Structure 1
Amino acid sequence: MAICFTYKLIAERGKDTSTNTFLIHFNFNAIADLLLAFTIIFFCKFLHWRFFLDFILECQWMKIAFGPLLNSTIAASVIGCTYTVVNRYYAICKPLIFRKKWTNTVSLCLCFFQFFVPLLLFLYNFWFSAKNIYVKSNDFYAFSIPFNNVRLINNCILFVIVSISIYITIYQNLIIFKRFSDIVNNLSSKERKKKHLMMFYMVATTLCLVILFFEQIARLIFGIVKYEHGTYYTTFLLYWILPTLNIMQPISTLIMSKQIRLYFLSFYFKPFLPKHFNLTENTTTIKTVKAVLKEI
């Protein structure tokens, strides 16, 4: 999806449309999510699976990069999820302000913030290299920062970011759902079904953030009482929460938006589709509140 959306943005470069700002955030979220997936797989799961074990155990640059890379990509992914909620909130609830103020330039500045600030916050981890540990009770290897105070600071920063994200997500999702329901109730029965899909997406993403919130609380408690095994075990939960949270947006976007779904199919399978599936380049441009709902 990110590839075809990038093509659309390039084809429509210079145009400030509501759709383009959504696509900009979608693409940068995809970058954050892919970086996070790469970090989890390469730095964590490979050790658990014992892939390239000798190389990873001896690789010094991985020990240096582990702390700043893992924590900053988690933060960037959570911030990106929050941007999606705020973008949808302004598109549905404040469309005039949204079209006037939320330009491509604003989106790009926010995306710069999404990556630069987490990296800046966790930059100090470069001075505290991780070490390889072996957890005998569960027979797995893992990276761990050997300084408990550094781990506590990392958890506190992530805890604050996740807490802010949960507050914004819950508060704005409630307003979005009410506004969305008021609008779709006046549309066709097919459009009204989107209300249930919207509710499912909101509940699923909020639930993932809430679980992540409690996971960070648990890690903080384990860090304070210096129960290292508890910290190691909570990382397994982390590997399930974040991928689930990341995959929700592309799936829900394809399900809920007919225009984006058709654009996606037309981009990749155009030679094999009937002519009525072929879209013009401006098909996904949003001009009204009703169109906003179809695109989000």
Structure 2
Amino acid sequence: MTQLDLKQAKKAISALYKHQANKANNDLLEDETDSSISIQISTHAINKHKPKAKPKKITLKHSPYPSNIEICLITKSNPTEIEALIKKQNVPFIKKVITPLMLKTTYKTYESKRKLAASYDLFLADDRISHLVPELFGKSFLARNKIPIPVKMNGSLKNTVEKTLKCTFAKVNAGTVTSIKIGNFGMKQSEILENYEAAVPQLVEHIAVEWKNVNIIGLKSNGSPLLPIICILPEGKEEAEKKEETKEESKEDEKESEKKKKKVEKKTAEVKKIQKKVGKKNAQKKKGGKK
């Protein structure tokens, strides 16, 4: 398996926190609407799996959501019964309970859906009706990446919600780029790093299928550029580049060898020239001696 490069990831996380601090200082009047930190993965080839409405669950070490998260639950059951259960089990995160029927009536218009999407941090849906929800929610929820997460309602609601809050979700799409939330700036940098370490292998499995299909994996926040951590060349390209490098090195070696050869030839020619002169002088001396 390709190394996760935790050292580079740690540097990227530190850079994101510095970027966020500078942004906060420069935009004192700006309302901070999104303090999330995400992993972005791009692949060389389009995902082999068909796009699916049901997102893939990625288990993290720490909850990526803020402590004051507000959740809306879409349920098949009577909302009054669920609200009583929420109170009994002490599940403070769930602030609103609605049904598919309410999505067709109370929240029928685009504007009402848009306001609903903006009002809550996370949407959960009873898995018995989760297949109905994407169509009922529409583009306003897709644009905000708030398609409801399916949850089982036949156990402890509190345990189900708490487990869900320690996960993030990846939507399998038809493109080559996918982002998932792994934290927020209210968390420690070490917690973001641990979530990165936990998420990447799962993300590769669900999105890239195998490591050789990974192009770039990086971290980003709202308004920041992508900070690349892992970059992998397409299969075959790396070998081709190595061959090209070897070829270039061979050319350089040949040039160097040719230079040395010319130097040797030059010196040899000079030596022969000197020897020839010395030979002529010796010959002249011999002739002079005979006289």
Shared fold (TM-score greater than 0.5)? no
Alignment TM class, shorter chain as reference: under 0.3
Greater per-residue strand proportion: 2
Larger RCO, structure (CA 8 Å, separation 6 or more)? 2
Larger Rg: 2
Normalised by the length of structure 1, the TM-score is: 0.21
Greater per-residue helix proportion: 1
Normalised by the length of structure 2, the TM-score is: 0.21
